Structure 1
Amino acid sequence: MSIKTEASNYKPPDPSFPGSITLTFAQKIKGTNETINTAENRKSFRKKLEEAFKGSNGVKGIPGFKSVEVIRIILVLGGNRRKREASKSNKVQAEYIVHIRKNEKETTDAEKLTTALQTTFSLYMKSNKSLTIEIGNEKVQVSGADLQVYDVEENGLCMIPNRTDCDTKSTFCNNTFGGFECVCKPGYKPFLRFKKSCEGIE
């Protein structure tokens, strides 16, 4: 159920898709999720993703690509849970939101978009034979990458803290492909002018 707006000039936003990239490095990285998930590291990852998705070094970019945000970086750790904080890993996962212009035929579903992102980043890596990313004060070489766009129903924008602005009292946040909608809770009905909240039924 969508909540309609009265404003004739309303334009829905361009679609945004949460996903992740798991990078494999040629060397082990020591740290914890707290020490690696810094603003500087997220900025470093974002620059590489943006450079790849825009297209560079003769590699074609993602059709309709606008921008990308990196919202969290975590270590991909294995082994005994007690040892995780002190363990070393050569894999890091960066969770992102990629923004695409509307009406792009090649990015009309999660599978097509995942394929486009994976192919583009793989070609970007081949064009940069010694691709490195700065983590902390150290540059580490990337040896592999696995990208995905999350399933909308299981892990859409509604699941990401502070990414939606539905009124929690009167609405539910409902994931849609490339976005979200605010659906009225029982006992409420849509406002004529507002998309993010509902009014009580008298």
Structure 2
Amino acid sequence: MDELLREMEGYAALHHVPIINERGRQAFLQVVQEARPHRVLEIGTAIGYSSLLMAQHGAADIDITTLELSDERIKVAQGYIDRSAYADRIHIMGGDAAENLLKLQMTGQKFDFVFIDAAKGQYVDYFHKIQPMLADKAVILADNVLFRGYVKGDVPTPRRFKTIVKRLREYIELVSQPPYVTEILENGDGLAVTRRLDT
């Protein structure tokens, strides 16, 4: 498995595919190992790297539904997943994430762990759409919430990133309101760990 993951890291570097970076990876794995999730929803498959990390470090009966827009990336991800021990545990849904989240709502499924690593400007929308699908005490992990240091602090935001930064600030505010509590791990590009308090 480690050999497969190293191969994927090489592919991602060569083809400029964003995967969870080395600094963020340890924090990511720590959250997954603490939560030991059974039913995972991932928004943003890319090449399947984080799916395989979650499968390796989650519960023994883990089942992952992962959403990806790009047909090319789905093909690459499926190739890697098929070579792993978790081929029957990871299911890729192709197409627009917002539409697929609405389809998943209709199935009545519940997820105890959600990992968001897709279009940064859509995080608020994704958060609203996953609400009906969260199990009690679900953990929601969102990557890149500090977006190159522009979201927190005094660094001036280039015009082309202003909308993304504004929406990520909205996301952080949203997940910091009761009944949610959020911790931002500043490893990598910022990982928001959101838990629902017992009500």
User: Considering the TM-score relative to the shorter chain, is it more than 0.5?
Assistant: no
> TM-score under structure 2 normalisation?
0.23
TM-score normalised to the size of structure 1?
0.22
More helix by share: 2
User: Looking at both structures, which has the greater relative contact order when contacts are Cα pairs under 8 Å and sequence separation is at least 6?
Assistant: 1
